[in-house]
Homo-oligomer: A and B are copies of this chain.
Amino acid sequence: MDLQGEFEFLEFNVGKRKDDYSSTKIQVVGETEEHLQKILSELLRSGAMLQETPEVEYQASPGDMMLPDEFYCTTHHPTWVYMKGDWVEVERLMMDKHIIVEPENNRAYCKPISTVRMGDLVVVGDRGVRIKHPERPREGVGVFEFMNSDVSPEKPVTSIIKEIARSLKSNASNGGKIVVVAGPAVIHTGAAPYLAEMVKLGYVDAVLSGNALAVHDIEYAIYGTSLGVNLEQVKVQSPRNHIAAINQVLKAGSIKALVENGKLTKGIFYELIKKEVPFVLAGSIRDDGPIPEVIMSSNEAQARYREIVKDASFVIMLASTLHSIAVGNMLSSQVKTICVDINPSVVTKLSDRGTSQAVGIVTDVGTFMPLLVNELKG
């Protein structure tokens, strides 16, 4: 209707009971071939299939980091391509990427444009591509389903924290991988000891962040300040401490070496290293230092992030805009995603950029973390 096409329902079979499936057959009429294609493209991206399944179409990439003009652009929903009479699931699915097919191996997978190489077979058009949107839960709808894409701060966050704790526990006991994306406000707001404890309790399987989180965590562990602000007395103490912390790491050679030489004895990164939980720190243009673990090439940092999130089942984003949106783009819509930020605009941005499954909790990470850890221990 939005595209002003004409249509007729030829069949409409509604599942009569709760667990039945429904299906419909629609005849769509466009004013021109092009108009029709536009409508079909929308329908296919919404999960519709053509009556006769055509073979997926693909073209060879004309050069390294180049796509054929008609490339298919992926959603973050599970996707299949129809190749040689079979539906082949697309591996490593991510949003706004491209599907490379290897017909001889019966394989299809996502690639960012930066890794496309000349001759890669890139899916073009919409034909032979099938998408599965998340099913509406049948019952027992939980907090997450209700919160979805809502950005109101007027929510009973202690109840939500209880639900998140329950969900984290069940995820952990099912062997799910929990990834935490964290921004430096975690340290500034005094939440570092609580995230450290969450690591210790075994609820963190990887941390994705940047230089600042590590620098301020180490500054706080060694000097008791974050960006020079004493977190207990809440006053500016020593603006040079964060550079001094960087210098400590640079002199030791790495965070790990700083733990080993006994200079770093607490905090998030101390616990990560003690428990051998992996972390990836992506460099950015505003970094001081940076410390040796930071990956300065944005392409390489992306690749390392992708490697971490590819089998994640639960992602918690804590007071981080840049890294959260970067991670959001890498996630399938089936990954449970929680975004905690005091600023509703972060949740709005995440959703504007397509991470539709993210549940936004508009609250203060500095008060959220102590209450969450308390529930996790309870």
A positions within 8 Å CB-CB of B = 1-2, 4, 6-9, 12, 14-18, 24, 62-63, 65-67, 69, 71-73, 75, 96, 98, 112-114, 136-141, 143, 146-147, 151-160, 163, 185, 188-190, 210, 226-227, 229, 231-236, 239-240, 242-244, 246-247, 250-251, 282-290, 296-299, 301-302, 305, 321-323, 325-326, 329, 342-345, 348-349, 352-354, 362-364, 366-368, 370-371
* Contacting pair A157 B16 (CB below 8 A): no
Q: Which residues of B have CB within 8 Å of A155?
A: 188-189, 234, 366
The docked-state distance in angstroms from the alpha carbon of A231 to that of B161 is 12
The smallest beta-carbon distance between A261 and chain B, in angstroms, is 15
Q: Which residues of B have CB within 8 Å of A343?
A: 153, 343, 345
Q: Which residues of B have CB within 8 Å of A75?
A: 239
Minimal Cβ-Cβ distance residue in B for A98 = B243
Q: Which residues of B have CB within 8 Å of A140?
A: 4
Q: Which residues of B have CB within 8 Å of A96?
A: 239-240, 242-243, 288
The smallest beta-carbon distance between A56 and chain B, in angstroms, is 16
* Contacting pair B139 A4 (CB below 8 A): yes
The docked-state distance in angstroms from the alpha carbon of A345 to that of B235 is 20
Q: Which residues of B have CB within 8 Å of A348?
A: 151-153, 344
* Contacting pair A66 B251 (CB below 8 A): yes
The smallest beta-carbon distance between A156 and chain B, in angstroms, is 3
* Contacting pair A147 B344 (CB below 8 A): no
Instruction: With a 10 A CB-CB cut-off, give which of A75, A140, A151 has the most chain B CB atoms.
Output: A151
* Contacting pair A322 B1 (CB below 8 A): no
* Contacting pair B138 A1 (CB below 8 A): yes
Q: Which residues of B have CB within 8 Å of A363?
A: 342, 364, 366-367
Closest 9 CB pairs between A and B? A156-B190, A73-B240, A367-B367, A286-B326, A283-B298, A363-B364, A154-B188, A156-B231, A282-B285
The docked-state distance in angstroms from the alpha carbon of A303 to that of B166 is 47
* Contacting pair B322 A285 (CB below 8 A): yes
The docked-state distance in angstroms from the alpha carbon of A301 to that of B299 is 14
* Contacting pair B243 A113 (CB below 8 A): yes
Q: Which residues of B have CB within 8 Å of A297?
A: 283, 296-298
What are 9 pairs between A and B in contact, CB < 8 Å? A9-B14, A67-B250, A96-B240, A147-B234, A152-B348, A153-B345, A155-B234, A157-B189, A364-B367
Q: Which residues of B have CB within 8 Å of A250?
A: 65-67, 113
Q: Which residues of B have CB within 8 Å of A371?
A: 367, 370-371
Q: Which residues of B have CB within 8 Å of A296?
A: 297-299
The docked-state distance in angstroms from the alpha carbon of A9 to that of B18 is 10
Minimal Cβ-Cβ distance residue in B for A370 = B158
Minimal Cβ-Cβ distance residue in B for A323 = B285
Q: Which residues of B have CB within 8 Å of A240?
A: 71-73, 96
The docked-state distance in angstroms from the alpha carbon of A24 to that of B22 is 14
Additional pairs, 19, CB under 8 Å, beyond known A146-B236, A286-B326: A1-B136, A4-B140, A7-B18, A63-B251, A67-B243, A73-B239, A114-B289, A143-B233, A146-B234, A152-B348, A152-B349, A153-B189, A156-B226, A156-B231, A159-B232, A282-B285, A287-B302, A290-B298, A343-B345
Q: Which residues of B have CB within 8 Å of A189?
A: 153-157
The docked-state distance in angstroms from the alpha carbon of A18 to that of B5 is 9
